[in-house]
Structure 1
Amino acid sequence: MVDLAGETGGNCELTEPGETVVKHGVTICSPLNLPATMPEHASELYSKNLQAVIELMLDENGALAPDFDDEILAAACVTREGANA
């Protein structure tokens, strides 16, 4: 169980703020300042998505060669050859 209210005492009387404990066979996690850990994960997710899209636009030799028949690239394309896509 993850107790997101650990910083303020928790939603469970067995919660120990900032700790992961096992009580009665149940693991209770109570991280502190959880929102502060999110930007790191959001940046990692964004960079992985960006890398995947760039790799999708490369041919087997590593040259830029987007295949606009690809559903993902076609949907992500805003403009092509001077016209709106």
Structure 2
Amino acid sequence: DRREEQAGFVDELCRIVEEQSIDLVLIAGDVYDSVNPPAWAEELFYDALERLAAGGTRGVVVIAGNHDQPERVRAAAQLAYKHGIV
């Protein structure tokens, strides 16, 4: 279980993005490490997207990787689009 390590990475990434005033974040695949991730991993991913998008002021683009199920990554697309997440 690498939950704490992954949560720490998300915290660090969000901090760097904020400190560097990044305009667009590209997540280039392998959002999850399996095609059937646990619920906590999905929650961490959605929390990260929300934080990275900064209330829709920062663009976020997510591409499914070879470990991801594209339909699972795209599941929240309707809600994500409203926050500048593609």
- Report TM bin, short chain: under 0.3
| Larger relative contact order, structure 1 or 2 (CA cutoff 8 Å, min sep 6) | 2
Taking structure 1 as the reference length, what is the TM-score of the superposition? 0.27
Greater helix fraction, Structure 1 or Structure 2: 2
